[in-house]
């Protein structure tokens, strides 16, 4: 990105080409603003955050609204401690509750409450509308396809790279699986 900023950099370093720099800066900026905007929209228009939303989507996606903690972590590509903390906060607000797993004394379920269900049902339409308005109304069909391909290429690299231990571990048993990260109906 910022190659000309460092004239003193060692000659061995391969900086990005000008075209790549422009693309990178545009991407980074867009991505930052888009995230910020989606977060803001969600917390203004509803009583939940994007993170809450992601968790609730996974729960509504299962028939009985019960998911094991680590399974949630795998779906969301979150660390287990992140899930643990977040579920604790959501439980405090009544969006979910914990239940012990009878078949495995160590495990526990995260269970969707009625309040959680109505929270996500209330939040979903505005969120989908926002995504559509900000992203897809701006793009041609070809660009949408291109966005998907680019994203998949980069993600594949991230998931297969030797450095990506967590991702690799999560996807090891099913490398090609498409994780329904945001569920079909709601998130977009």
Partner DNA sequence: CGGGAATAGTTGACACATCATCCACGTTCG
Partner DNA sequence: CGAACGTGGATGATGTGTCAACTATTCCCG
Which member of 29, 40, 153, 157 binds DNA (CB under 7 A)? 40
Asked if 6 interacts with its own copies (CB under 8 A), we say yes
Residue 101 interacting entry, from DNA, its own copies, none, C-beta within 5 to 8 Å by type: DNA
Residue 48: closest CA among 114, 119, 108: 119
Nearer to DNA, 148 or 185 (CB): 185
Which member of 16, 43, 45, 47 binds DNA (CB under 7 A)? 43
Which member of 70, 101, 111, 188 binds its own copies (CB under 8 A)? 188
Q: Which stretch binds DNA (CB under 7 A): 3-11, 106-114, 120-128, 152-160?
A: 106-114
Least separation in angstroms between CB 99 and DNA: 10
187, 53 Cβ separation under 8 angstroms: yes
Pairing of strands 96-100, 108-112: antiparallel
Asked if 84 interacts with DNA (CB under 7 A), we say yes
- DSSP assignment of 59-105, as one string? HHTSTTSEEEHHHHHHHHT--HHHHHHHHHHHHHTTSEEEEE-SS-T
Which member of 81, 137, 165, 176 binds DNA (CB under 7 A)? 81
Which member of 42, 46, 52, 60 binds its own copies (CB under 8 A)? 60
Which member of 69, 70, 101, 164 binds its own copies (CB under 8 A)? 164
Asked if 104 interacts with DNA (CB under 7 A), we say yes
Instruction: Look up residue 171 and give its two tokens.
Output: 């996807």
Long-range contacts of 46-49 (CB under 8 A, 24+ apart): 46/119, 46/122, 46/123, 46/126, 46/127, 47/119, 47/122, 47/123, 48/95, 48/119, 48/120, 48/123
């Amino acid at each position: 990105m910022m190659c000309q900023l460092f004239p003193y950099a060692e000659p061995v370093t391969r900086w990005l080409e000008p075209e790549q720099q422009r693309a990178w800066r545009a991407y980074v900026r867009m991505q930052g603003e888009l995230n910020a905007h989606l977060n803001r929209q969600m917390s203004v228009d509803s009583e939940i955050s994007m993170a809450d939303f992601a968790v609730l989507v996974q729960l509504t996606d299962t028939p009985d609204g019960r998911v094991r903690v680590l399974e949630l972590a795998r779906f969301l590509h979150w660390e287990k401690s992140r899930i643990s903390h977040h579920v604790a906060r959501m439980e405090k607000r009544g969006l979910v509750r914990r239940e012990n797993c009878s078949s495995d004394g160590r495990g526990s379920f995260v269970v969707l409450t009625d309040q959680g269900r109505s929270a996500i049902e209330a939040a979903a339409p505005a969120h989908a509308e926002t995504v559509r308005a900000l992203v897809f109304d701006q793009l041609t069909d070809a660009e949408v396809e291109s966005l998907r391909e680019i994203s998949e290429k980069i993600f594949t690299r991230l998931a297969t790279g030797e450095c990506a231990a967590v991702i690799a571990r999560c996807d090891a048993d099913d490398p090609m699986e498409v994780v329904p990260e945001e569920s079909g109906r709601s998130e977009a």
